[in-house]
Structure 1
Amino acid sequence: MSVGVVARKDFEDALRSRMLWSLTGLLVLLVGIAYVAVWNWGHDTAAEEMVGLLALPLQVLVPISALIVGYMSVVGERRSGSIKLLLGLPPTRGDVVLGKLVGRSGVLAAAVLTAFAVAVALSLALFGALPLAALGGLLLATLLLGFAFVGIAVGVSAASASRGRAMAATVGTYIVFIGFWKLLTAGVYYLLNDSAPTLPIEGGYLLLERLNPMQAFAVVATELSGVDVFPVLFQYGVGIPSVASSDLSAAVAGDLPFYLEPWSAVAVLVAWFAVPMTVGYLRFRTADLG
């Protein structure tokens, strides 16, 4: 049960450091601003449409929050020297990494759940309706997105020997996902085909785009909530615009391949949760902590 001990201690440390309270306050403030703003100016907006609008700021702030929560999880113990004390007790290095992953995921989940509880209250108070299925679907998708970025952050933290390296890697990863993914996918397509991507297009190109967790989140959120959700990505006017799940069949040249079914987007988010953590652990397992 060493993993549970580490996770519980990590969660309690987050409470004492006010990390959980700060994160929860930030997400609640975001949800409150979004609902009040749309209620004030979007007079024809329905409660269900509000769910799709809420997904836009959430997919920007939740990954940032997850990276902040996780990037110091392991390397912070190394900097303070407490990692030696921790490893002098029953937990192994694997227990530490997995316990940190569970603990930091719990911190993020608590903040997200609180924010959605506020969204439920505001939906009833301001719009007079509660699209429970749509909000529940968006909640599940948001948790998957947040956990994916916690996995990235904890993996980076486990693999890094200094705070600066961990911060640079997490910030760089987020910038690539939100700012440069469209350029990368369009560039790869151009190198292989000597032309810019246009619709309809091969399924492989759309799969490459879906490897971005932001894009995968949009697919999962659309499927679970029943409301079209689009990824927040810089477009640069290159490549093709983000394709809604409902329009995917028309965007693909030929039959829709199996790897563009909604389950593949879930697999992408799960992979971003598990793979970076595994790689980070393998680096941490052989690291010199002296």
Structure 2
Amino acid sequence: MTSHIPTVARKEFEDAGRSKLLWALIGLLVGIVIIGYTAIWYVDGDATAAEVLGFLGFPLQTIVPIAALIAGYMAVVGERRSGSIKLLLGLPPNRTDVVFGKLFGRMAVVGTAVGLAFVVSLVLGAVFFGSVPLVDWLGFAAITLLFGTAFAGLAVGVSAGTSTRGKSMALVVGIYMIFVALWELVTAGPYYLLYDEGPPIEAETWYLVLQQFNPMSAYTTLASNTIEGTVYPFTFQYGLEDFEAAQLSPAERYAGDAPFYLEDWFGVVVLLFWLVVPVAIGYYRFSRTDL
């Protein structure tokens, strides 16, 4: 059977190019890079390109997930809402083609925005601060691209698995809020109830595993291992966990040699998890839904 995934993906990307979505994402990310690099150059002209590259860590971990969720949360449910899904499935594409075609199309939209932002950072870094560390730049760009596509996959999976726009929006907003604003309450709260104290630096292994699976922390750990300086996760702190402990990676908090699933590189697996698993669940639900 011929796959029509590339056809659906190409149409998704072309539609984005004709809409305001892609250009808004590109403008937002590129604008942040331009403003940030110009401001740093104006304030501290002696900074190096490697040091300034680390500046991108905070705005990227804040904006890229939101942009990816906005790009993907209506991917499939939007077709159901308008009724065009029945027309689309009446053509050669089947449900598999629709879900994965839209996934790759929305991933391309996010990837284009991230890629152009990094190209601008490369140019501005060379113009304002001299030579750019290409290895660090490429590694950081690849990690950010994976980070963005992970959230795009999460959004498309939710979109495929829900029946209304409201449910899709509520789920993606709720999941994002858990990652950013509620993670300490969800993880350190039960720890406090079990052990009558907040998680210390050398916390129980199960807790460190949970910490590892926050994509925000996975991204910042990978970024900190790639570029000069440290990128701290943008997550709310409520005082249940020691502040010093919250700044360390799970591997740094493990007593002795950390198992592979707590090592810093495992953040790649975590980001792939949030890309693949929601899509698999959404596809399963969509393939069995009566449209």
Shorter-chain TM-score tier: over 0.9
Q: How far apart are residue 50 of structure 1 and its match?
A: 1.4
Could you tell me which residue of structure 1 aligns to residue 268 of structure 2? 266
Q: How far apart are residue 74 of structure 1 and its match?
A: 0.3
Q: Identify the match of residue 76 of structure 1 among 75, 78, 82.
A: 78
Q: How far apart are residue 43 of structure 1 and its match?
A: 4.7
Q: How far apart are residue 134 of structure 1 and its match?
A: 1.7
**Does 1:202 find its partner at 2:204?**
yes
Q: CA RMSD in A?
A: 1.7
Letter of the 1:31 partner, please give it: V
Contact 1:229 1:244 in 2 (8 A): no
Could you tell me which residue of structure 2 aligns to residue 24 of structure 1? 26
Aligned pairs for 1:80-229 (under 5 A) are 80-225=82-227, 227-229=229-231
SS of equivalent residue, structure 2 residue 240:
coil
- Tell me which moved more, 193-202 or 57-66: 193-202
Distance 1:118 1:207 in 2: 36
Q: How far apart are residue 160 of structure 1 and its match?
A: 1.4
Map Cα deviations across residues 222-257 of structure 1 (whole Å, 9 max, x no partner).
Answer: 233354222111112221343345x943x3223322
Distance 1:39 1:274 in 2: 40
Aligned pairs for 1:46-65 (under 5 A) are 46-65=48-67
Matched residues, number? 287
- Tell me which moved more, 121-130 or 270-279: 121-130
Q: How far apart are residue 264 of structure 1 and its match?
A: 1.7
Could you tell me which residue of structure 2 aligns to residue 257 of structure 1? 259
- Tell me which moved more, 90-99 or 254-263: 254-263
Distance 2:27 2:97 in 1: 30
Map Cα deviations across residues 75-100 of structure 1 (whole Å, 9 max, x no partner).
Answer: 11111111111101121111110111
**Does 1:243 find its partner at 2:247?**
yes
SS of equivalent residue, structure 1 residue 224:
coil
Moved over 6 A (4+): none
Contact 2:150 2:272 in 1 (8 A): yes
Map Cα deviations across residues 172-192 of structure 1 (whole Å, 9 max, x no partner).
Answer: 111111111012111121123
Contact 2:201 2:242 in 1 (8 A): yes
Distance 1:144 1:244 in 2: 22
SS of equivalent residue, structure 1 residue 177:
helix
Distance 1:237 1:43 in 2: 37
Distance 1:256 1:166 in 2: 37
Map Cα deviations across residues 32-66 of structure 1 (whole Å, 9 max, x no partner).
Answer: 11112222224553221212221111000000000
- Tell me which moved more, 225-234 or 139-148: 225-234
- Tell me which moved more, 135-144 or 234-243: 234-243
Letter of the 2:224 partner, please give it: T
Q: How far apart are residue 194 of structure 1 and its match?
A: 2.2
Distance 2:220 2:280 in 1: 25
Distance 1:105 1:23 in 2: 13
Relative to the length of structure 1, the TM-score reads 0.94
Q: How far apart are residue 125 of structure 1 and its match?
A: 1.4
Q: Identify the match of residue 41 of structure 2 among 23, 31, 39.
A: 39
Contact 2:251 2:263 in 1 (8 A): no
SS of equivalent residue, structure 1 residue 225:
coil
**Does 1:276 find its partner at 2:278?**
yes
Relative to the length of structure 2, the TM-score reads 0.93
Q: How far apart are residue 288 of structure 1 and its match?
A: 2.1
- Aligned residues with identical type, % of pairs: 51
* C-alpha distance 84-170 of structure 1, shift in aligned 2 (>3 A): same
Q: How far apart are residue 193 of structure 1 and its match?
A: 1.8
Q: How far apart are residue 159 of structure 1 and its match?
A: 1.1
